Amino acid sequence: MGLESVRVYRNLLKAVKKHIGTEGSKKHFSDYITQEFRNTSSLTDPSVIKQKINLASNYTYILNSVHHHQELLFSYNIAVDRSEEMTRTLRKSAGSVGLQLPEVYRA
């Protein structure tokens, strides 16, 4: 149980450091995690320890997954305003046949 909890603890701290940060206003996340793992080490009931380790592992997984999903959205330009891209495409299409865009599309 000891090696597994150390692995989960390290992975959770890495995920928090990578995705949330450790600046002054966000340090309470890592402080809380450290405090909870210290409290868990003093517990004697193996089922409670296992539950807490599973909870920490699941939180690590969801934290990494949410940020991976966000990166995918940005890579597909879903989170970006599409009006500029549409104007650029229209300008390029009009220019390819020797026309100019009407005043409505000019910025």
- The CA-atom distances, in angstroms, between 89 and each of 44, 66, 104 are 65, 32, 15
Contact 43, 49 (CB under 8 A): yes
Using alpha carbons, select from 5, 4, 14, 9 the residue that is nearest to residue 63.
14
**pTM (two decimals):** 0.64
Q: DSSP letter at 104? A: G
Contact 39, 9 (CB under 8 A): no
50-95 confidence digits (pLDDT tens) = 888 899 999 999 999 998 988 887 778 765 566 766 777 787 887 7
Q: Which residues contact 103 (CB under 8 A, 6 or more apart)?
A: none
pLDDT of 20 strictly over 70: yes
The residue behind tokens 């009407």 is 102
* pLDDT value of position 58: 95
